[in-house]
Structure 1
Amino acid sequence: MMTTGGIDRLSATPMYDQLRQLIIDHIEQDGLHPGDPLPGEHRLCEQYGISRTVVRQALAQLEHEGLVERVKGKGTFVARPRTSESLVHTLVGLYDEVASRGGHVHSDILRHETIEADAEVAAALEVEEGSPIVVLTRLRHVDGDAWSLSTTWMPEAVGAVTLGEDLHETSLYRLLEEHGIVATSGVRSAEATVATHEQAQLLGVSAGSALLRLRSVSRDASGTPIEFFIAHHRGDRSRFEFQLGPEASRGSLVRIP
């Protein structure tokens, strides 16, 4: 049952923001947990005498903040808290990032084979176009939930050590380190994007849902690229967190013309 508070039509605070706060209060006061259902749009309209537009604005804001999750055909639910990740500003991988906080990562291997490098991959790995490389595509699950879809390309000499290995429960970086291949520097970038139909099906979201796209090139101590990956993370499951300081690693805002 929603809180007994109401909408003040004389307030300077927009009605959708008032409803947003009422829903937050309802979650906190009733001790609701992730996955618990919340009142639907029709019920909220009736209870507070407001339009569906106002209700949708409030729910959209809450969804953007990661507090609720709307599932088409099922309703609105308390969302699971987003997990902070430091993958953008460090060379740590998802496996070790999650393991450091006691979580578990499982990977479904969708592709793992030797192919010829196209122009984009060749440029990133600094090899000739058409050169043999190893591609690895994984659907990553964190504590049982679909989390990210990533594709990693490696020069043949690097990727060869991964072929035939079971990577379902293993860190790729740890496997490479066992063979003396260690990432010591790199460049990573993150940008907002939306899920394609194929990505949505794999990640368990709706097409057009917000995703975080992570792009990375890692190098060994000699400066030679050892991997290039592009990963799409569910926007409702994760957020990237930066540690800042006066001497922090420099970043830049890239203006796309």
Structure 2
Amino acid sequence: MKKKQSLHAYIKEELVERIKSSVYKVGDKFPTENELCDEFQVSRTTVRSALNQLTMEGYLVRQRGKGSFVAEPKVHQTLSATTYGYDEQLKSQGKKGEITLKSMDVVPATGNRKRVFNLEENDPIQKIKRIRKANNEIIQYEIAYIPWEVAPAISKKDVERSLYRSLQEHYQVEIAKTTELLEIVLTDKDTSNYLECEIGLPCFYIETVAEDKNGRVIEFSKSYFRGDKTNFKIERHYSSNN
């Protein structure tokens, strides 16, 4: 153990390594607190702290009256430029994706929405709330805004699939560039309701601005990804001169 590393952090890292190396496989019942106390020769409080962190980070799931079990691997998504959409990325991981529309309204262009889209005051904007699932588990809640003039009266069918693909096929609007801002946030009452998780769960929060080849903003979205169900891959390529 590293000198300045706490006992519960050391135990947590050791248990994560065992999960990743399949010492404990998906669906396996995890050792009890007492068993881990005996193995590591530490207090129940120390073991409980490690197990709580493993549960919060999505490595374990707890079943009341039965104990803890090794969770399914997190849904892996790519933030780098990719030609693969949501369904394709999940399919490559052996998972089935699903997008469900929760609500769709028309709201006025005011404040930040007016600024982002460079619209006139009160111009109509479509506000679309969706959730995404992987193997029937909710992993993402998204609020997307699209100006009415870009895709008038976009349909439920169009938004329960790849939004960018629908825009291209039905409205001849092609996304040429996206700019994304990634932060870590804690769920509030509203987001936890859509994500079906407890309030205060750490989430990845991504704001996206999508533009066409002329620099016109086509879509602005805010997405919340469950931190215990997802992770992200960022791939960079460097020239030999770097």
1:177 to 1:199, Cα distance in 2 relative to 1, 3 A:
same
Question: Counterpart of 1:186?
Answer: 178
Cα RMSD for the two superposed structures: 3.2
Letter in 2 for 1:33: K
List alignment gaps of at least 5 residues for structure 1.
1-7, 248-257
Q: How far apart, in 1, do the equivalents of 2:104 and 2:159 lie? A: 10
Q: How far apart, in 1, do the equivalents of 2:78 and 2:17 lie? A: 31
Kindly indicate whether residue 229 of structure 2 is the aligned counterpart of residue 237 of structure 1: yes
CA deviations over 1:106-152 (Å, ceiling 9, x no partner): 12211113221231222222212321011110011122211100011
Counterpart of 1:147 (choices 108, 132, 139) is 139
Deviates more, 1:71-80 or 1:116-125: 71-80
Question: Counterpart of 2:73?
Answer: 81
**Runs of 4+ in structure 1 over 6 Å off:** 71-74
Q: How far apart, in 1, do the equivalents of 2:150 and 2:88 lie? A: 20
1:109 to 1:79, Cα distance in 2 relative to 1, 3 A:
same
Question: Counterpart of 2:201?
Answer: 209
Question: Displacement, 1:60?
Answer: 4.4
Structure 1 contact 117–132 (Cα < 8 Å) conserved: yes
- TM-score, normalized by length of structure 1? 0.76
Question: Displacement, 1:24?
Answer: 5.0
Deviates more, 1:111-120 or 1:55-64: 55-64
Deviates more, 1:52-61 or 1:88-97: 88-97
Question: Counterpart of 1:123?
Answer: 115
Q: How does 1:1-257 map to 2 (within 5 A)?
A: 14-17=6-9, 19-20=11-12, 23-24=15-16, 27=19, 32-41=24-33, 44-45=36-37, 49-63=41-55, 66-70=58-62, 75-87=67-79, 93-99=85-91, 103-160=95-152, 162-165=154-157, 167-168=159-160, 170-178=161-169, 179-246=171-238
Letter in 2 for 1:156: W
Q: How far apart, in 2, do the equivalents of 1:44 and 1:152 lie? A: 45
Deviates more, 1:177-186 or 1:67-76: 67-76
List alignment gaps of at least 5 residues for structure 2.
none
Structure 2 contact 75–90 (Cα < 8 Å) conserved: no
Structure 2 contact 158–166 (Cα < 8 Å) conserved: no
Question: Displacement, 1:93?
Answer: 4.9
Kindly, what percent of the aligned residue pairs are identical? Answer: 25
1:18 to 1:136, Cα distance in 2 relative to 1, 3 A:
closer
The alignment of Structure 1 onto Structure 2 pairs a total of residues equal to 237
Letter in 2 for 1:176: L
